[in-house]
Structure 1
Amino acid sequence: MPDWDETMTISRIRFEKFTAFERLDIPLGSGINVLLGANGTGKTHLMKAAYAACDITKTGEDYAKKLIGTFLPSDRALGRLVKRRQGSTKGGVGIYREELKLVCSFSNHAKNTATITGARVWGKEKIESVYIPVKEMLSNAPGFRSLYSQRAIHFEAIYADILDRAYLPPLLGPTDSNRKRLLKVLQEIIEGKVITKDEGFFLRNKQSNLEFSLLAEGLRKLGLLWLLIQNGILLNGSVLFWDEPETNLNPKLFGPLMEILLELQRSGVQIFLATHDYVILKELDLRMKPEDGVLFHSLYRDGDSGEILCHSTDEYLEIHSNAIQETFLDLFDRDVKRDLEA
């Protein structure tokens, strides 16, 4: 693996009896961290735990409270995030930034209390972060934030958080050349720029302003990425968490999207990417350069114990337990077999 530079934001994640995990310890890269695995192997849980730790450096919120809002367990009971088993037990999360660490441990009977260590030092250095969920939210934006802040509605905090980021105005001062180039690429794909009006998002082009509710969902996602680059959320030292970017996106756009993410990591953005898509993986593999910091983390269940394990590598061909490629190759083999039997 390459030697990661000193600008690393999140360097390690550790789980102990947390959600689906018995025990997990994953070293991370400062560039792109690709999370692979079948449904139920905890990819989203990894990203949510790390995102919550990043977000509280800006908001000052208690980490246990942020975990509850981000995972939204039943009755908002923190203890329900402990791996299920009979009797009393404890679970916990550890998020690391090199020598800094934030550790949160709690009982399976806990409502909202936890033992948290390292929070004061952890919050001294702010981390700009953003979590893009699978469900697109910009088309549902008008009125959502006020409703979320005033009513007990059953939406995870990530949905309100992404709107808070999207509504931010552009940064003051000139836009650097790299951001200009990425914005231009995205503008060509979505055929316009994104503007806000009365809490609604619109795609502005030469013809008109098109409301996001009438725009293809895949283009809404790219419009969101345009906003996050334009308003300075995605700058050197920031962290992007993106859950299944391939959802509702034309496969022809996977390549340009991976190129944009590679450019962002080259400019100092740490990226977490959870995917089930073979084309996303191969586009990333084919477009990455030797100096790029890309790590593949394959999550899988051990055949004997049933526990979730992780294999990490910086080489696509060395991914162990690659369910995506195995499924693709099986499909290819069956297609060839059918042609030979015809």
Structure 2
Amino acid sequence: MISKLHLKNFIAFTDLSLDFSPGINIVIGENGTGKTQLLKAILALSGPEARGDEADKQLAHKLCRLYHPLNDQVGELRRAGERGEAMLSATFASGHEITAQFSGSATAIKVSTNAQGEASPAIFIPTKEVLSLVRGLTAEQPDLPTIERIFDDGYLDLANQLAKEGASDLDAKVQLDPRFASIVPRLTNLIDGQYLLEKGRFVFEAGRYAEKDAATRSKAQHAQMYQDSTEWKFVPSSKQHLSSGMTAEGFRKIGVLQRLLSNGSLKPGTTGPLLWDEPESNLNPKLMKDLVQVLLELARNGQQIILATHDYVLLKWFDLLMDKGKGDQVRFHVLSRDTDTGQVRRDSMDDYLAIEPNAIADTFNELMKAQVARKMGGLGK
């Protein structure tokens, strides 16, 4: 879990600091304010490349793989026109701190850290869905140079996490682990099916989870606290599986989250931050309420979430559905560019109504006014 990030002279940022909520963090801002760049910086600093004896070279390589500078040199990521070295610094809830510095001509990075042992790396979900790409990105004999020219490590890391083998009996997992009892069935029923890995590719199995009378109750103490006389069971509606490419891209994005939970790559309370870039992309607005409920439930189970969005519907569902009585913490981070200096600045608040500036809400209000004006015709002129 990351508690603070400081970026200086790094790509879009002259000097930017953010303090993160341990629950849900939502980054908003116009195009070009660095939302995706911010998420990738967290991904790099949370990973194993930022630790160990080879961190100077490994982190430099990771940053190049995430941002694709023209000449593949980390020095190109230093913000032009500013004095001093580029600096990325992260403080984690564990007390670990990592700082990376480099000049404009650097090919390696100076890394200082007090972190020991293995990290809890972040999981990054990019804007475009990855489920249908897994077969090509994780092939036994891939054309790796070509793949790396096309896809940055945000895509490749996620593909490897999705291809990871996990628990074979998801139904049993849903019954035994209270964290899955409401989350996985909700995701599955949201898209009327589940994605399964078969022979290196993802296929879609249509069906829904249904509550059925429990034949026996689990003897596991932590499960008994959450169980009643019913249990969840996945019921297929067809014996025929579909290629993931034959399903809607919005469904595949939901399927990514479903798969990460199912195979154990995402373990609320254990894994690092879940970073999601524009979850609303290619997603029907009808699905957003349920998606927000799932994300809130993940956060209630100890999963830190940091997402970037342009979507008014998504923002409003967070505002309407969050329940402080259940411990929900939703923090909004607004990135905007100063008209005089061109620098990106940050404002953070824990109340949606306090967001200023809120270009997303302003645009939506302008649209509604235009619609009302058209219905009113010339009345009042």
TM-score by length of 1: 0.91
Tell me what 2:25 maps to: 33
> Is the 8 Å Cα contact of residues 57 and 126 (structure 1) preserved in structure 2?
no
Task: Indicate which of 68, 72, 77 corresponds to 1:81.
Answer: 77
Tell me what 1:49 maps to: 41
1:123 and 1:242 mapped to 2: Cα distance?
Answer: 27
Question: Where do 4+ consecutive residues of structure 1 move more than 3 Å?
Answer: 57-61, 148-152, 171-174
Tell me what 2:321 maps to: 287
2:19 and 2:249 mapped to 1: Cα distance?
Answer: 34
Tell me what 2:92 maps to: 97
SS in 1 for 2:266: coil
Structure 1 residue 328 corresponds to structure 2 residue 364: yes
In the TM superposition, what are the counterparts of 1:113-192 in structure 2 within 5 Å? 113-118=108-113, 121-146=114-139, 147=142, 149=144, 152-171=148-167, 175=173, 176-192=177-193
In the TM superposition, what are the counterparts of 1:242-257 in structure 2 within 5 Å? 242-257=276-291
2:103 and 2:10 mapped to 1: Cα distance?
Answer: 11
1:32 and 1:50 mapped to 2: Cα distance?
Answer: 15
SS in 2 for 1:161: helix
Q: Offset of 1:180 from its aligned partner?
A: 2.8
> Is the 8 Å Cα contact of residues 58 and 123 (structure 1) preserved in structure 2?
no
User: Residues 211 and 338 (structure 1 numbering): CA distance in 2 closer, same or farther, change over 3 Å?
Assistant: same
2:96 and 2:279 mapped to 1: Cα distance?
Answer: 30
Amino acid at match of 2:199: D
User: Residues 123 and 272 (structure 1 numbering): CA distance in 2 closer, same or farther, change over 3 Å?
Assistant: farther
Task: Using the TM superposition, name which of 176-185 and 145-154 deviates more.
Answer: 145-154
User: Residues 100 and 161 (structure 1 numbering): CA distance in 2 closer, same or farther, change over 3 Å?
Assistant: same
Task: Indicate which of 49, 62, 87 corresponds to 1:66.
Answer: 62
Tell me what 2:7 maps to: 15
Tell me what 1:213 maps to: 245
Task: Indicate which of 257, 262, 266 corresponds to 1:234.
Answer: 266
2:51 and 2:128 mapped to 1: Cα distance?
Answer: 24
Cα offsets for 1:31-52 (capped at 9, x unmatched): 1110000000011111100011
In our comparison, the structure showing a higher alpha carbon Rg is 2
> Is the 8 Å Cα contact of residues 254 and 279 (structure 1) preserved in structure 2?
yes
TM-score by length of 2: 0.82
User: Residues 27 and 234 (structure 1 numbering): CA distance in 2 closer, same or farther, change over 3 Å?
Assistant: same
Which structure 1 residue ranges, 5 or more long, are not aligned?
1-8
Task: Using the TM superposition, name which of 215-224 and 304-313 deviates more.
Answer: 304-313
Q: Offset of 1:11 from its aligned partner?
A: 0.5
SS in 2 for 1:246: coil
Amino acid at match of 1:83: R
> Is the 8 Å Cα contact of residues 89 and 108 (structure 1) preserved in structure 2?
no
CA RMSD of aligned residues (A): 2.0
Q: Offset of 1:128 from its aligned partner?
A: 4.1
Tell me what 1:4 maps to: none
> Is the 8 Å Cα contact of residues 11 and 27 (structure 1) preserved in structure 2?
yes
Task: Using the TM superposition, name which of 151-160 and 44-53 deviates more.
Answer: 151-160
Task: Using the TM superposition, name which of 98-107 and 270-279 deviates more.
Answer: 98-107
Amino acid at match of 2:30: A
Q: Offset of 1:89 from its aligned partner?
A: 4.5
Cα offsets for 1:144-203 (capped at 9, x unmatched): 234264655332011111111111122489520231321111111222221112211001
Amino acid at match of 2:307: L
Amino acid at match of 1:201: F
1:322 and 1:97 mapped to 2: Cα distance?
Answer: 29
User: Residues 42 and 191 (structure 1 numbering): CA distance in 2 closer, same or farther, change over 3 Å?
Assistant: same
> Is the 8 Å Cα contact of residues 56 and 123 (structure 1) preserved in structure 2?
no
